[in-house]
Structure formats: structure tokens, C-alpha cells
């Protein structure tokens, strides 16, 4: 086995070259070079890479890690037939190209030993330290745990890995390198697994690479995923691109020569290079625009690297005098960098023969970040001049990693957590401004709700309205690039379940769900306690009679583990209060005391999550009411004469006596139907009278315009906001005084079917 230690007699006084002589590292992920034929050659290739920047003491530690990994994987082989040790060596080699530190390289060499060999995390910690052991553990799967489905197992593994990444980003860099080598060698595995791994890579690992600014890695993942998910399409497109190279070589050469000449005329020092677009990018363009390969003219792009920011804009101006720019195809990622720290000027020009010419203009430092992304923190950290330049990117990455922890705290399970993460990994972004001019990048399709939660969870939870560019807009409005957003909050504000229909960022959705679950839990426990007290009193016991011994008796052998869980299930209608009361006092159905009249539950109207008002009868204060215990919904309030209370389906144990709180003060929805003379302006008059009666129109539905009924009259159905029956009576009395009103009635059997269907 080849050692990593420097040979005797070699100069080791300066492991890192001076800034004057040090060469820039290669691009982060170049076209994969052939792997060495045997383990010794692979180890030698790795040594050559890391000896450039690691200290001698670190080289010795990497050497020891390789010995440990080789011993642990002795006798193990990959599906290709190669010794298994070739895989961790290849992963370490990828990380070495990123100039990662010794701890990351050691963890890469040992990343599979905990999963696949008797070696434990404690063994690694003892030999290489706790930091290395944590890195290995972060990459390792949860193989020791049992999961109901493969999807659940994958989701839990992703959650473990991403949370470890939030603590140390090197975890994901090791995992990305691991996945890259697996994708490069995917030919050796069965087709079903190839497709599963390729799909998983495109859904998770490729977007993460993009989010971390690892552009080269992102595009290689995209191409490899395309290759294994659509092998025939990949092969056909690959042959077409190779054939087109010869046909378009003359055009590309002419464009390169013209660009170089024009930049010299404007005295811009620059290196210009042409690049062929990735097959996956070409394929996506063909799909999106529904065109054939022959219609894709821009399979080549050009990259211009200049000395400083001023030269970027000077080069842009020079090239816009060479070829005319496409309208709307210019993007300034220097002034407004992408969330992953990427900076560049993008423009598309009308080239010779009508060929679109795509240009990227950036500085040397911007190019380093574009290639290395978050890995550039290690790759270039000895260059003092770069430190300040990289700080923004590192800060944004840190903020994103911290948001993973916030999303985790608001997610119920691994599948929900993974859903939120997938949402935030989409590359399309919209850039908006706060009232003070601070730039925020959000996922495309975001709304003011997403913006509010991006600022702070408290702002999101208390949001009641929004202003975009000084105009009031609904909270569901889609944001556009350049919008200036102001969120109006109220201390009484709270998240609305409807927000989940248009909030798109993982952070916003996670916080909304977490708040709603917490509120539902709190309110259902309170309601459950009231229902249990009512049931206990009906059994001739006092609530104070319930002690710890009674709760211990109920919980023994029950699926619920706590008193709060039992009360929550009662409040949500998942278990009957009377059954729980009998269990508490060990009463059987056969022998029980005489029931006495149960107390009524007081309805305050503020129990949003645990108490709902039935849409079939829309009860309002003043109506005689009864409540049904409905599984998963808690109490559903109906009027006494609601058709839903069917005498043949009436189960006394599932219905509860309730009464309105006399001090209730809020608005309730109620439906009324009005028949009016069909005259001009009648709707405006009705609205004015309703407003004058201190009510508000929540919804209005006109009668069928194609109806064959008498056209002299029209029927309108309003959903009004009123405080109680007296208030409703006042509104109806005021409307009856209008000459146009022929008939007015309250709709107590629910809204019309047409009205209902339009709102579902």
C-alpha cells in the first residue's frame, strides 16, 4: 500500500506553496479521468493531489485512514468486481480536487466502514478524533432502524444527513462526492436500481449541488441522471451533438475571433473560451420549447474572464456593439448575486447567420466561486484577498443551512421534512426588496406570505395584509422580480390554513403547519378537558376525584402515553369522553351509576381549530345549537333544526349540549336568499343597505342567467357577516324596506349546490 507521507530527504518545510508560486486548483468537477487500474495507483494519484496543499502531519493521518479503510474492506468487492477500497479512494480524490482538509479526506476514506464493516463510530473517534467520527456518522445511513416503506427509510436518511450538514457542510460535500462516483460507475448495477438512483440524484443531490454553487457537479449530475433515466434519448442526442460539432466549427471559430478582436479594440484584458452546452440542458430546452435538435441553434456558449468588476461591464458594452442583444435576455447576477453566491453577467446576442450567442462575463474570483461554490471556502481560504469576497456566499449558505434546522423543528415526520426541502431546492428564484431596500431571494411563485416568513416567523404568524410597490394586495399575490414589499402585521393575527394553498417556500409552509398543529393541539386539549369533565359529572363523580392513580390506570395498556394525548384525542373526536371517564373510574357498561344531565359546553367563538361551525346550517349566536363530536375535527356546531341531525342516525354519545357565551363578540357567516325586481343598480342598492346595517358581504351568487323563470325578477344569494340573530334580523328588516325586494329568507339548510361547488 502506498504511503501518503513524504519520501525521506524531500523538502517539507513548506507544505503549502507561497502565494506568488501557488497555482490555482483545477476546476472542481472536470470531465472524469480514467481511474487507475489498481489500488496502489489510485492511492498514488490521491497522494499527488493532496501533497500540494496538506501538511506532512496531515498526510500521515490520511495514510493511517487509508490503512484502516483497506483493512476494514478487505475481501469486499463492488458490483463491478473491483476491490471495494477503490470507491472510498475515488471519493477522497474528488474531495482532494476541491482541496478539502485532512478531516474531510479521512472521513471520505472511512465513510462506509460503519455501515459495511464491524468498525464503529467509537473506533474512528478514538483514532482520528470526534470531528472525523461525526462526519462519518453524518454520511452513514440508518440501517439499524426498521421503516415501514423504502420511501420512509430514504426520507429519514436524508433528514439525518441534511441536519448533519447544517452542523458541518463537509458532510454534504462528502456525500456529494460519494454520489458522484456512484453515478459515474452506475453501469455495473441492475437497471431498476440504476433508474432509482438516477431519479433520486436528480430530485435531491443535483439541486443541493446547485444550491451550494457547485456548478460543475450540478451539470454532471444532470447529464448522468439523463443518461440513466433516458438512455436511448441520451445516446441519440449525444451522436447528434458530435455530428454538429464539425458543421458548426467554422461558426464558433468566427464568433471567438470576433469577440477577441472587439475586446482588444476596447482595451479589455480577457480570456475567451467557447463551451458546449450539456446534453441535459439541450434536452430540457427541446422539451420546454417543443423543438427538434436541428432547431436548437445555441448549443455553444462563450465565457469571458476579466480582471475586475469594471471590466465586466466594459466587456458587456463592447460586445453589445459587436452583435445586437436579444431583448429581455440580459441578467445582472453581479449586482444581485444568486442565493448560492454565483455572480456573472449573462447576455444573449444575435450572432452571424442568426445564431444566438450566449455569453457569461465574470472576474477570475467570480469564476472560482462559480466552479467551486461553497467548497471554495477550503480551496481558496489561504488567499487573504478572497476572504472578504467569499463572505457573502458563506453567509447565505449558513443562513440556508440554519433554515434546515428551523424547517426540521416545524416538520412532523421525515417525509414532510423532505417535502419542504425539495420545495426549497428548486433553482428558479425571484429577487424582491424590503421597504429599506434589502434584497431577498425567494423561490419563483412566492407570495407576501413567503416573504413575511423569510424575514421572521413572528412576522409571518401575525401577517394580515401586504403592500407591493405601495399598493395594497392580497396575501396570495405572486411576487415579481424587483417588487418592493411591506408586510402589515397585527398582534391578533394568526396563520390561516388557507395560506398553505399559496405559500410555496419550505420555511413558510413548515412554520404555518407547525403553528396550526400547535394551536390544534392546545385547543383540542382544552376542549377535551371540558368534554371529560362533562362526562365525569354525568357519572355522578366530581372532576377533583380524578387523581394520578386514575390516569395511570387509564394509560396502562393504552396507545396514548400521556394525559394530554388522551385529552387531545377526546377534543378531536378520536375517542369518546364517556368511555374515557368509565375507564378512569373502572366502570363497566353493565354496572354504572345513574347518569345525570350533562353540563353544556360554552362556545366562545374563538376556538378556531377545535370547534367548527357546520357549513350546512351556518349557526350564529342566538340559534339553539347542538355539537357533534367528529373524528379528527373536534366539535362541529349545528343548529337544532339542521337536517344533518337525522333522528335515525342520532347517537347521544356523539352529540354534546353546547350554548353560546353571552359575551361573544365576533362576526359569523350566514346565508340569505333575496328575490328582487330586476332593475338597473339593484345590486348596488342592496350592498349599500347591508353596509349601512354594519354588516359585510363575504360572497354573492346570482341566479342562473339562462333560467326560463320570469325575467322580471332575480334571485340573489348572499353570505353575510353578522354578530348574532338580532343583528341578522336588523339587516333583513332594513332590506325589506326596499321597494325592489320581493322576498327575503335565511337559508338554514345550507348554501345552494351551485354556490357550494364554486367554492370547493
- Cell 396502562 maps to which residue? 556
First to last CA, the chain: 69
CA dihedral defined by 604, 607, 611, 615, rounded to 10 degrees?
80
Q: What is the DSSP string of 667-729?
A: -EEEEEEEEEE--TTHHHHHHHHHHHTT-EEEEEEEPPTT--S-TTEEEEEEEEEESSHHHHH
From the list 109, 123, 8, 20, the residue with the least C-alpha distance to 61 is 109
| CA distances in angstroms from 721 to 524, 528, 617, 685, 755, listed in the order given | 26, 29, 14, 18, 17
Phi, psi torsion values for 394, nearest 5 degrees: -65, -40
Distances (CA, A) of 560 to 533, 546, 565, 572, 610: 19, 18, 6, 14, 19
CA distance 317 to 741: 70
Instruction: Walk across the sheet containing 713-722 and list its strands.
Output: 696-702, 713-722, 668-677, 741-746
Cα 4 to Cα 42, 67, 253, 301, distances in angstroms: 12, 10, 45, 41
What is the number of alpha carbons within 13 Å of residue 706 lying toward its C-beta?
Answer: 0
Catalytic residue among 60, 101, 116, 386: 116
**Minimal CA–CA distance to 390: which of 378, 399, 404?**
378
Phi/psi region, residue 639 (left: phi>0; alpha: psi -120 to 50; beta: rest), is beta
Contact 414, 424 (CB under 8 A): no
Of 723, 657, 661, the closest CA to residue 693 belongs to 723
600: Cβ contacts below 8 Å, ≥ 6 apart: 657, 658, 659
Q: Is 419 a catalytic residue?
A: no
Beta-carbon contacts of residue 751 (< 8 Å; ≥ 6 apart): 615, 671, 701, 717, 719, 759
- Strand, coil or helix: 636: strand
In contact, 687 and 734? CB cutoff 8 Å? no
| Spatial contact of 139 and 182, defined as CB atoms under 8 Å apart | no
Contact 105, 95 (CB under 8 A): yes
Cβ count near 456 (within 10 Å) = 12
Distances (CA, A) of 544 to 137, 536, 566, 602: 51, 10, 18, 20
Beta bridge partners of 357: 349
Whole-number Å distance between alpha carbons of 232 and 241: 14
C-beta of residue 110 within 8 angstroms of C-beta of residue 136: yes
Eight-state DSSP code of residue 608: T
Catalytic-residue membership of 222: no
Catalytic residue among 60, 67, 101, 115: 115
The residues pairing with 714 across neighbouring beta strands, listed in sequence order, are 676
Q: In sequence order, what DSSP letters do the residues of 650-666 get, joined into one string? A: --GGGEEEEEE-TT---
Catalytically active residues are 115-116
Amino acid at each position: 500500500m502506498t504511503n501518503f507521507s513524504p519520501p525521506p530527504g524531500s523538502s517539507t518545510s513548506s507544505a503549502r506553496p507561497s502565494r506568488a508560486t501557488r497555482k490555482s486548483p483545477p476546476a472542481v468537477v472536470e470531465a472524469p479521468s480514467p481511474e487507475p487500474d489498481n489500488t496502489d495507483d489510485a492511492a498514488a494519484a490521491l497522494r499527488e493531489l493532496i501533497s500540494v496543499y496538506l501538511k506532512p502531519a496531515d498526510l500521515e493521518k490520511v495514510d493511517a485512514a487509508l490503512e484502516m479503510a483497506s483493512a476494514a474492506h478487505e475481501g469486499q468487492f463492488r458490483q463491478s468486481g473491483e476491490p471495494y477500497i477503490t470507491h472510498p479512494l475515488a471519493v477522497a480524490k474528488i474531495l482532494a480536487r476541491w482541496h478539502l482538509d485532512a478531516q474531510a479526506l479521512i472521513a471520505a476514506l472511512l465513510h462506509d466502514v460503519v455501515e459495511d464493516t464491524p468498525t464503529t463510530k467509537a473506533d474512528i473517534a478514538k483514532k482520528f478524533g470526534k470531528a472525523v467520527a461525526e462526519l462519518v456518522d453524518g454520511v452513514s445511513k440508518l440501517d439499524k432502524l426498521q421503516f415501514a416503506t423504502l420511501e420512509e427509510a430514504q426520507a429519514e436518511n436524508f433528514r439525518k444527513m441534511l441536519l448533519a450538514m447544517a452542523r458541518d457542510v463537509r458532510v454534504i460535500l462528502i456525500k456529494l462526492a460519494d454520489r458522484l462516483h456512484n453515478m459515474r460507475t452506475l453501469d455495473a448495477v441492475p437497471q431498476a436500481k440504476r433508474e432509482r438512483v438516477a431519479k433520486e440524484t436528480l430530485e435531491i443531490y443535483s439541486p443541493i449541488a446547485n444550491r451550494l454553487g457547485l456548478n460543475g457537479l450540478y451539470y454532471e449530475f444532470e447529464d448522468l441522471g439523463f443518461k440513466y433515466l433516458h438512455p436511448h434519448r441520451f445516446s441519440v442526442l449525444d451522436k447528434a451533438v458530435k455530428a454538429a460539432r464539425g458543421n458548426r466549427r467554422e461558426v464558433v471559430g468566427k464568433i471567438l475571433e470576433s469577440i477577441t478582436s472587439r475586446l482588444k479594440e476596447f482595451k479589455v484584458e480577457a480570456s475567451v473560451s467557447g463551451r458546449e452546452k450539456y446534453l441535459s440542458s439541450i434536452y430540457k430546452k427541446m422539451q420546454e420549447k417543443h423543438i427538434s435538435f436541428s432547431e436548437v441553434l445555441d448549443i455553444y456558449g462563450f465565457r469571458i474572464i476579466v480582471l475586475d468588476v469594471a471590466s465586466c461591464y466594459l466587456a458587456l458594452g463592447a460586445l453589445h456593439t459587436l452583435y445586437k442583444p436579444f431583448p429581455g435576455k440580459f441578467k445582472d447576477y453581479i449586482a444581485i448575486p444568486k442565493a448560492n453566491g454565483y455572480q456573472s453577467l449573462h447576455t444573449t446576442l444575435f450572432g452571424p447567420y442568426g445564431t444566438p450567442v450566449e455569453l457569461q462575463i465574470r472576474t477570475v474570483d467570480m469564476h472560482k466561486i462559480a466552479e467551486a461554490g461553497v467548497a471554495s471556502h477550503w480551496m481558496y481560504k489561504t488567499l487573504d484577498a478572497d476572504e472578504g469576497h467569499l463572505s457573502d456566499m458563506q453567509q447565505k449558505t449558513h443562513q440556508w443551512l440554519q433554515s434546515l434546522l428551523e424547517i426540521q423543528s416545524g416538520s412532523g415526520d421525515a417525509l414532510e421534512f423532505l417535502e419542504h426541502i425539495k420545495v426549497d431546492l428548486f433553482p428558479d428564484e425571484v429577487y424582491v426588496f424590503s421597504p429599506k431596500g434589502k434584497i431577498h431571494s425567494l423561490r419563483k411563485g412566492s407570495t407576501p406570505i413567503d416573504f413575511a416568513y423569510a424575514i421572521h416567523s413572528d412576522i409571518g404568524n401575525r401577517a394580515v395584509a401586504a403592500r407591493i410597490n405601495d399598493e395594497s394586495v392580497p396575501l396570495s399575490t405572486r411576487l415579481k422580480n424587483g417588487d418592493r414589499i411591506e408586510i402589515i402585521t397585527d398582534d391578533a393575527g394568526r396563520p390561516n390554513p388557507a395560506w398553505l394553498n399559496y405559500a410555496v417556500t419550505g420555511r413558510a409552509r413548515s412554520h404555518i403547519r407547525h403553528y396550526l398543529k400547535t394551536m390544534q393541539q392546545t385547543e383540542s386539549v382544552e376542549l377535551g378537558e371540558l368534554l371529560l369533565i362533562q362526562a365525569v359529572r354525568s357519572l355522578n363523580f366530581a372532576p377533583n376525584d380524578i387523581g394520578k392513580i386514575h390516569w395511570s390506570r387509564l394509560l396502562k395498556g393504552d396507545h396514548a402515553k400521556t394525559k394530554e394525548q388522551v385529552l387531545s384525542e377526546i377534543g378531536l373526536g378520536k375517542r369518546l369522553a364517556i368511555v374515557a371517564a368509565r375507564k378512569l373510574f373502572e366502570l363497566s357498561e353493565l354496572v354504572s351509576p345513574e347518569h345525570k344531565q350533562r353540563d353544556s359546553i360554552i362556545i366562545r367563538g374563538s376556538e378556531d381549530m377545535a370547534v367548527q361551525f357546520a357549513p350546512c346550517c351556518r349557526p350564529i349566536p342566538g340559534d339553539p345549537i347542538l355539537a357533534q363530536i367528529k373524528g379528527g375535527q373536534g366539535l362541529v356546531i349545528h343548529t337544532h333544526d339542521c337536517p344533518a341531525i337525522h333522528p335515525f342516525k342520532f347517537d347521544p354519545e356523539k352529540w354534546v349540549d353546547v350554548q353560546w357565551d353571552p359575551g361573544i363578540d365576533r362576526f359569523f357567516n350566514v346565508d340569505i336568499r333575496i328575490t328582487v325586481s330586476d332593475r338597473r343598480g339593484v345590486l348596488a342598492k342592496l350592498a349599500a343597505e347591508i353596509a349601512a346595517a354594519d354588516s359585510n358581504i363575504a360572497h354573492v351568487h346570482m341566479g342562473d342567467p339562462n333560467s326560463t323563470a320570469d325575467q322580471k325578477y332575480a334571485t340573489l344569494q348572499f353570505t353575510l357577516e353578522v354578530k348574532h340573530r338580532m343583528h341578522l334580523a336588523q339587516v333583513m328588516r332594513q332590506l325589506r324596506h326596499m321597494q325592489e325586494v320581493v322576498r327575503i329568507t335565511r337559508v338554514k339548510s345550507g348554501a345552494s349546490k351551485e354556490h357550494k361547488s364554486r367554492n370547493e
